[in-house]
Amino acid sequence: MIDRYMTKDMKALWSEANRYRAWLRVELAAMDAQAALGEVPREAHDDLVARTTHDPLDEAFAARVAEIEEVTRHDIVAFTTALSERYGEYARFVHHGLTSTDVVDTAQNLLLDEALGLVAADVSALRDVCREQAVRYRDTPTIGRTHGIHAEPMTFGLKFLNWMATLDRDLERLAAARARVRVVMLSGSVGTYAHVSPQVEERVAASWGWQAAPVTNQTLARDRHAEVLAALAILGTTLEKIAVEIRHLQRTEVREAMEPFGKGQKGSSSMPHKKNPILTENVTGLARLLRGFLVTGLENVALWHERDISHSSAERVILPDATAAASYATRRLTGVLRDLVVFPQRMMDNLDGLGGLVFSQRVLHQLIDHGLTREDAYAIVQRASLRSWETGEGLRDLLRADPEMPLGPAELDAAFDLQWYLREIGHVYARFGL
């Protein structure tokens, strides 16, 4: 991911040096288990732990691996060679009985687990902001829209409550995907454990509180990674759904809410009056990336026989970039919603803008309750509504003047009571303990 959309946390997590530190963690965990089983000398493990703690892998080590790989054309071989150069003779016991993918896949799971933890924390923060705004605007009337057209009254807080509930589901999906990659694979070439005991894998998994992959070939099955990317892609659609709504509300013709606009900010290089929804447009674009990464992740599932590396080059891009984009977009949207500029009076103006048309369903029901057939009642209300659309006259005035209107003035006025439409909002909030 380019630096523009990479948070500091994600940049450090997916750095080359940190990737090698994850590889080393897997190698040392395997050595520890092998030492306990008497397969490698205990002093070899302890010496390497001491040396690597005192002199941890850094950017210089990563650069040396890159130099060696220029010759070997194999990153794990370059890695183990660089370990031997840096830490001495006991490094020869590193990678004992393992194959490259044992280390790469298990270490990648370590990084994914941490990355998904960061994303989940970001989503939780966004969810909390939605909760706060849902409470703040619980009773703020606004017009609900379907097909982009005024429908019926609702409250602005209900939008945030819907987003909060969706983010709860996103958190559930992220947790499930995270659990799916919390597995250790240390099964050797083609998954037969011919050169490494299954107990090594089981001991490492137990020490981390993870699971040993129950069966593998020479890779972990990539449906696990596809599930991660699916959870991130769905999160992206949630972010986009929220972003698109904010973008719509900021349109000049609507102007009910807008992104924060900082001191010194410029909306346009040519038009000084502009305040553009650039933050939420940015989120929309990143959501498209997240869905695209999923396509590649799905294509990575089908590999030749027990293994090929067609997935490897793709994963080096999509896994860091997907988690980074999700984190960045979530944090950006959190800032937008936290500091959202809201115009309640404009909401009321828009709600009243159609001269009462949005109360048509209540009138319909009043007529039905009065004894009219649904068809006759609908005809009366639609006739007046269409005239209101065409002339701008108020719906209530047109209905009062209709010779077929059987409702008295008080009954008709009751149909235009805004609070009647909002009377059950508290019931919905109560489902969330609010």
Q: Is the pLDDT of residue 218 over 90?
A: no
Q: With bands split at pLDDT 50, 70 and 90, how would you rate the model's confidence at 2?
A: confident
Model pLDDT for residues 290-320, shown as the tens digit of each residue: 999 999 999 999 999 988 888 989 999 999 9
Record the pTM.
0.93
CATH topology of domain 99-260+273-345: Fumarase C; Chain A, domain 2 (1.20.200)
User: CATH class for domain 7-96?
Assistant: mainly alpha
- At residue 310, the pLDDT reads 86
Strand partners, 143: 153
Q: Is the pLDDT of residue 11 over 80?
A: yes
Q: Is the pLDDT of residue 268 over 80?
A: no
Of 1.10.40.30, 3.40.50.700, 3.40.50.620, 3.10.180.10, the CATH number of 357-415 is 1.10.40.30
- At residue 351, the pLDDT reads 94
- At residue 21, the pLDDT reads 96
**What tokens does 337 get?**
């919603």
Mean pLDDT score across all residues of the chain: 94
Residues noted as catalytic: 147, 268
Angle, helices 75-87 vs 59-72, to 10°: value is 130
Q: Is the pLDDT of residue 431 over 90?
A: yes
With a CB cutoff of 8 Å and minimum separation 6, the contacts of 244 are 280, 284
- At residue 238, the pLDDT reads 98
Q: What percent of the chain stands above pLDDT 70?
A: 100
Answer for the pair 405, 412: CB distance below 8 angstroms, yes or no. Answer: yes
Q: What percent of the chain stands above pLDDT 90?
A: 91
Q: With bands split at pLDDT 50, 70 and 90, how would you rate the model's confidence at 115?
A: very high
Query: What residues does each domain of the chain span?
Result: 7-96, 99-260+273-345, 357-415
With a CB cutoff of 8 Å and minimum separation 6, the contacts of 91 are 48, 80, 83, 84
Model pLDDT for residues 375-408, shown as the tens digit of each residue: 999 999 999 999 999 999 999 999 999 999 999 9
Q: With bands split at pLDDT 50, 70 and 90, how would you rate the model's confidence at 262?
A: confident
d(CA 434, CA 432): 5
**What tokens does 160 get?**
């945030």
**3 state SS for the chain:** CCHHHCCHHHHHHCCHHHHHHHHHHHHHHHHHHHHHCCCCCHHHHHHHHHHHHHCCCCHHHHHHHHHHHHHHCCHHHHHHHHHHHHHCHHHHHCCCCCCHHHHHHHHHHHHHHHHHHHHHHHHHHHHHHHHHHHHHCCCCEEEEEECCEEEEEEEHHHHHHHHHHHHHHHHHHHHHHHHHCCEECCCCHHHCCCCCCHHHHHHHHHHHCCEECCCCCCCCCCHHHHHHHHHHHHHHHHHHHHHHHHHHHHCCCCCCEECCCCCCCCCCCCCCCCCCCHHHHHHHHHHHHHHHHHHHHHHCCCCCCCCCCHHHHHHHHHHHHHHHHHHHHHHHHHHHHHCCEECHHHHHHHHCCCCCHHHHHHHHHHHHHHCCCHHHHHHHHHHHHHHHHHHCCCHHHHHHHCCCCCCCHHHHHHCCCHHHHCCCHHHHHHCCCC
